[in-house]
Amino acid sequence: QVQLIESGGGLVQTGGSLRVSCVASGRTFSSYRMGWFRQAPGKEREFVGLISWSGGGTNYADSVKGRFTISRDNAKNTVYLHMNNLKVEDTAVYYCAAGFQNSAWSYWGQGTQVTVSS
């Protein structure tokens, strides 16, 4: 029912900034919480952060707190991940996910590559 497409990945130098986007299908987008995850080579997929279905709350992994910000634009069916002060350790494929209100993550995008070089 929900299709997710990420975009905006690329190559960035250490300390730089980048914004990745996730566009979702469905007229009930506003009823879904949206999350960001990432997976580095040889590593398990890890949680990055989320924004509630109402848009009134966010949560971030300790590794990105103070550097990453999640926002959503329900009119555009889009969620954003703003990444600042990027580190080499942030290099990964970034995935967005969706879950109805506060339910489990049921839908996933194809991912977008973010590479940070020193």
- Given a cut of 70, is residue 92 above it in pLDDT? yes
- Given a cut of 90, is residue 23 above it in pLDDT? yes
Half-sphere exposure of 26 (CA within 13 A, CB side): 17
Give residue 27's pLDDT band: very low, low, confident or very high (50, 70, 90). Answer: low
Residues 33-79 pLDDT 10s? 999 999 999 999 999 999 998 878 999 999 999 999 999 998 899 99
Q: Indicate the average pLDDT of the chain.
A: 94
Half-sphere exposure of 108 (CA within 13 A, CB side): 12
**What pLDDT, on the 0 to 100 scale, is given for residue 53?**
87
Nearest Cα to Cα of residue 84 among 7, 14, 6: 14
**What pLDDT, on the 0 to 100 scale, is given for residue 35?**
97
- Given a cut of 70, is residue 10 above it in pLDDT? yes
Rounded mean pLDDT, 24-37: 87
Residues 6+ away with beta carbon under 8 Å from 26 = 1, 2, 3, 32, 77
